Structure formats: C-alpha cells, structure tokens
Amino acid sequence: MDKQIVDLFIKNAIAEDVGDGDHTSLSTIPKDTQGKAKLIVKEDGVLAGVELAIEIFNQIDPALKVDVLINDGAIVKYGEIALTVEGSTHSILLAERLVLNCMQRMSGIATKTNRIVQLLKPYKTQVLDTRKTTPGLRYLEKWAVKIGGGVNHRIGLYDMILIKDNHVDYAGGIANAIIAANAYLKITNRKLAIEIEVRNLTELNQVLAQGNVDRIMLDNFPIPLLKEAIALINGRFITEASGGIVEENVTDYAACGVDYISMGALTHSVKSLDLSLKAF
C-alpha cells in the first residue's frame, strides 16, 4: 500500500462527503454515544479493501477499534462478517459510506479478476488490467486487480512507453515510432520498457524487422491470426493480446500461447460486490 496516495484519497473523499458536518448524526444521536457495527458480506466473491477500510476508520477517528475477521483476497460467502468496528457512533457513521463504496468496488474488481485467473490456470497466460479506470480511483482499482490475482500493467503514462495505433499514425509509421522512442530514452536517460501495438501481420512484420521493443500488443487479432502472429514472434518478444476479450472467450485467446491478456472489463464495467455495515 502506498500510504501517501491512500491518505490523500481518504482526505479528499471525506471532504467531498462531509462538507461542514454530518448533520443527520449530529441532530439525532448524542455526541458521546458509543456503538458497534459489523461489515456483512451479502454476496459470494473475493474480498478486497479491508486494508484500506482500516486506514479510513483510523483517519476519521484513531480511537475506533477495528477487528478484522477476514483479510483481503479471501473467498467470502453470503452472511459472513468481514470486520467489526467499535467506538464513537458519529465516527462509525461518518466512515460507513466511504468504507462500503471502496470495499464494494474493490471486491467486485477482485472477484471478476479472480474468475479470469482461475480460468487461465491451465495456461501460461496472465491477465493484465488497463488504464480504463475511474479517474481518481486508479490506484485502488489496480490494487484490487492484484488482490484478485491479476497483474498490473503500467500505472499511468509515466512508467512505460506504450506506442499505440494513434502514436504510430502520428509518427509516420512503425519504424519511425520505435526509432524515436529509443532515441528519447537515450536522450533523457530513462529506463522504461517499450511496448508497441500492432493491428495486422504487416505491422507485426515491420516490428520484427525493426526490433528494439520489449513487448508486442496484438490488438483485435482474430484467433487464427493470433496463432499465426505468436508463431511468427516465436518467443523473441513478450506478447500481449487485447481487444474484445471477455470472460467467455478468454481461454480461447490463452490457448494461442500469448503471455498476457489485457482486459479493460476488469475495471471499466465491473459489478460491485454487495456489502453492508450494520449496527449490533
């Protein structure tokens, strides 16, 4: 966990929700009231966000006592209790929605990712996330992918060179883009992996002729063409398949022998896992 990123996220999220005060709690519950609450799993899946929840409770009120019963990454069933929290009822209610929003979203992503990971077990292929994340929540969403057993791709534009179709077109072709990327790394003295996206076998052959990349992304390749592409690459570069890959067809792509499959669906359209925080 990157505490600096997490602390800033929590600070901003609390400010967004609380404004000048939780007037419902302030008006209905005496200030010094103490209470307990339990976080109930209401849907089978993979739990994620427990470590984050602890940080949220602690930032809202360090006096809150959190008892974790189920850790991040655990398979959970309907009715199980993930954690309990005890202390100021005002503080518990202040934290409730933020904890639930984060854990439900992260658990949904971890659950989806884990289903893909289980499907890929017979193959060498690993599943990657993408930059198709919710603005402001990328760190949490990619954290959830890791909890679910997936692999993080680049975090942002800064930690890898990924030459996509628009870059190739604007640069004037495959060779120009690769040459320019390598020159940039040399001039700036940066050590970044270079990945390039190809749309067909013609572009693939241009990359193979040029070299000087670390990974080749085979974008929207039909299965027969993907098999042909993997054979042409013949282990010389790390390979990644992307585009139109979903849970229902992911094993078809993995069977082609690709190293990675990237799936935007892990984060951009996932269903949150149902959780609830109830007083007891």
Catalytic residue among 97, 121, 124, 190: 97
Q: List the beta strands (DSSP E) in the chain.
A: 34-41, 45-46, 65-68, 75-76, 81-88, 126-128, 161-163, 194-198, 215-219, 238-242, 260-262, 275-279
Whole-angstrom distance, CA of residue 60 vs CA of residue 214 = 44
Query: Is residue 236 a contact partner of residue 70, using CB atoms and an 8 Å limit?
Result: no
Catalytic residue among 55, 219, 240, 259: 219
How many Cβ atoms from other residues are within 10 Å of residue 63's Cβ? 11
169 is catalytic: no
Q: How many helices (H) and strands (E) does the chain have?
A: 11, 12
| Bridge partner residues of 41 (DSSP) | 275
Catalytic residue among 36, 38, 164, 227: 164
Specify the 3-state DSSP secondary structure of 151: strand
Query: Is residue 190 a contact partner of residue 223, using CB atoms and an 8 Å limit?
Result: no
Those residues with Cβ within 8 angstroms of residue 59's Cβ, 6 or more apart along the chain or in another chain: 7, 10, 11, 14
217: phi then psi, degrees, rounded to nearest 5: -100, 120
Catalytic residue among 197, 203, 240, 259: 197
Query: Is residue 164 a contact partner of residue 197, using CB atoms and an 8 Å limit?
Result: yes
Catalytic residue among 132, 146, 199, 227: 132
154 is catalytic: no
96 is catalytic: no
197 is catalytic: yes
| Bridge partner residues of 87 (DSSP) | 35
Catalytic residues: 97, 132, 164, 197, 219
